[in-house]
Structure 1
Amino acid sequence: MSTTSPAPPSLRLRLHAVLRRTWREVASFGVVGALAFVVDNGGYNLLVFGLPGGSGGPMESSPVVASVLATTVAVAASWVGNRYWTYRGQRRENVVHELVLFALVNVIGIVITAGTVSLSRHLLGLDSPLSDNVARLLGWAIATVFRFFTYRRFVFVAS
């Protein structure tokens, strides 16, 4: 008869501390991401579709470029939020190096998000506000997971 004993108190305490720290990181990353999401999608819809009841936005014929532009503005807001809140204890001393890594990760994120719009528009032939926003939501979801893991592993690493 084999019995398994519970984890030693020190192991349980360490595990609890890691889970609590990770939960806080995920929560603050999520808040920053939610704000960036509003900036990104609000900006995209204004650029492509204009104000509700209007006749279209100034970039109506360039939805992929509009996606890149809106996401770029959201990325700038995200860097500030993540640097000074989510990863405030893990910032690099060399701000330029951190910003370059952040920009590189986000260029990949922009390609992911714009890529889903491009696939939806050009491969599937969908061009409605609903299809664009579904494509962008899918791209955002994939890019967000990618960003979370690369920020914590490569970008916001205390130097």
Structure 2
Amino acid sequence: MSEGRRPRLGGLAAQIVKFAAVGGVGLIVDVAVFNLLLLHPMPVAAWPMVAKVVSTALAIVVNWVGNRLWTFRDRRRADAAREAVEFLIASLIGSGVSLLCLGVSHYLLNLTTTVDDNVSTNVIGLLAGSAVRFAAYRWWVFAERGDQTREAVKVTTTVAPTP
């Protein structure tokens, strides 16, 4: 291998690395918004769940854009609306795992500090939910399909007919 050339990660490994990077950006959005909302003194018992739903919704948008334009760029569909709906469904299922962890921790186990809420949803829930989301994105939302359903990402050239 010549100097200056880096080895390329192949297929699944490259997707996992890109997925993790995009997810990291989404995580920053999710955690920041979640904690900012927790600072607001709401007199509602369900406030941590409401804050998590709002922060998760924003993170889903960030993650769809990143995964569509980078992680699964060569597999994205021409029908972006359908892809977005499937991505949302897969994201909500994965996010449900995180919300379930928060709900069990906060309401069943009575671990109610900000640290407890963050560990349950942004560590335990994140790891479990990420595995679910990656599988759904790779094998459903951005699954290999025939060329007719994929968005053209290659530049095509036209050749003038010869006289």
Aligned match for 2:10, one of 20, 43, 56: 20
Conserved? CA contact 1:47–1:59, under 8 Å: no
Conserved? CA contact 1:112–1:143, under 8 Å: yes
Which runs of no fewer than 5 residues in structure 1 stay unpaired? Answer: 1-16, 51-56
Alignment correspondent of 1:152 = 138
| Cα distance in 2 for residues equivalent to 1:59 and 1:38 | 23
For residues 4-153 of structure 1, the aligned pairs below 5 Å read 20-48=10-38, 50=39, 57=40, 59=42, 61=44, 62-136=47-121, 137-153=123-139
Conserved? CA contact 1:47–1:60, under 8 Å: no
Alignment correspondent of 1:5 = none
| Cα distance in 2 for residues equivalent to 1:79 and 1:26 | 15
Shift of 1:96: 1.1
Deviations 1:103-147 (A, max 9, x none): 111111221111111111110011101110110111111110001
Q: Which has the higher helix share?
A: 1
What's the Cα RMSD here? 1.6
Displacement over 2 Å in runs of 4+: 58-61
Which runs of no fewer than 5 residues in structure 2 stay unpaired? Answer: 1-7, 150-163
